[in-house]
Amino acid sequence: MMLKLQLQKITKSVYNKEFQLEDDYLDNLIGFLQKKQLKVNYNYYNLSNAQRSMLQIYLNRSDFEINQNYFVKSILTTFLYTNTYINQPQQQTQYRIDLTEFQYCDTQKDAPEIQQYNYYCIIHIEGNTYENCDLLMEEINNQSAQLYCKCKSFGNLFLIKIVDKFMNQQNHTSSNQMQEDQKNIEVFKQSYLYVQSAFIISSIMVYYAFVYLEYQRQNEIITDQGSINRLDTLEPVKKSFQINLYPGHFFVFKTSFQVNCFNIKIVYAFYFVIFLK
């Protein structure tokens, strides 16, 4: 647990200038003012059922969380020349309390925590009462910003957070859309592979059909030649059949494959428009 104590002593005239207050004749009775802030990076209100019950009554809602990371106790004390002091419950103008610095982008999470919740600054003052303070952000650079509160009263300051349902719904919708797009891409890839395989197989079948036709033609030629030879001699002629591949075969296969490749591209473009529309 981290504790951070800040003390500041100023004269009443400096205090008036800082908060743009007019001087008063009673200021001559004041020796100095002391501002004290105790920052703790743990909020014990988070474990208090009594505090939560009172906050539910004050906020008139129960769907909130008490942030356990920020707790600031602020006190303004006026010291008089008569060796007495008075704790001021509030002042006329707002004062600033810095809480934390946060990063816009956090690579460890889907979205920064500051964007997942609606935050409210609450101060617990004397008499078990609460007041709302202004919660503001000041940009430090393009990557980070300072979160701070502006209050009039002094007491125990902390944050409550309520889930930003709109932001969560947006994130959920975006996640579902990404999953749906991924499914469409997978279906498209499978369909493209099926179509491509079908065209390649058909190209091979066309090629072998042409080879088979050439084989039949060669067989007829050989049969005719054998018949003519048997008429000229009584000696049987034994011929061995051999498939001859001519340049025209490769031309036919190449032409068939080019046509099918062109058809594949057309089908690919068609599926791309249908699935990723």
Determine contact, residues 126/155, Cβ cutoff 8 Å.
Answer: yes
Q: Is the torsion defined by CA of 276, 193, 270, 266 positive or negative? A: positive
Strand partners, 151: 95
Residues 185 and 271: their CA atoms lie apart, in Å, by: 10
Residue 111: which region, alpha, beta or left (left: phi > 0; alpha: psi -120 to 50)?
beta
Q: CB 227: neighbour CB atoms within 10 A?
A: 9
Element (H, E) at 233: none
**Domain spans of the chain?**
3-163, 180-275
β-pairing, 65-80 vs 117-125, is unpaired
Predicted confidence pLDDT, tens digits, the chain (277 residues)? 688 899 999 999 999 998 888 888 888 889 999 999 999 988 888 888 888 899 999 989 888 999 888 899 999 999 999 889 999 999 989 999 998 887 766 545 544 566 678 889 999 998 789 999 999 988 888 778 888 999 999 999 999 989 886 654 555 555 556 666 666 566 556 666 776 777 788 778 776 776 777 767 777 777 766 665 555 544 444 444 455 554 555 455 555 555 555 555 565 555 555 555 5
> Which residues lie below 8 Å from residue 117, measured CB to CB, with a gap of 6+?
65, 161, 162, 163, 164
pLDDT of residue 2: 80
Of the candidates 122, 181, 198, which has an alpha carbon nearest to the alpha carbon of residue 156?
122
* HSE value, Cβ hemisphere, 13 Å, CA-based, for 14: 9
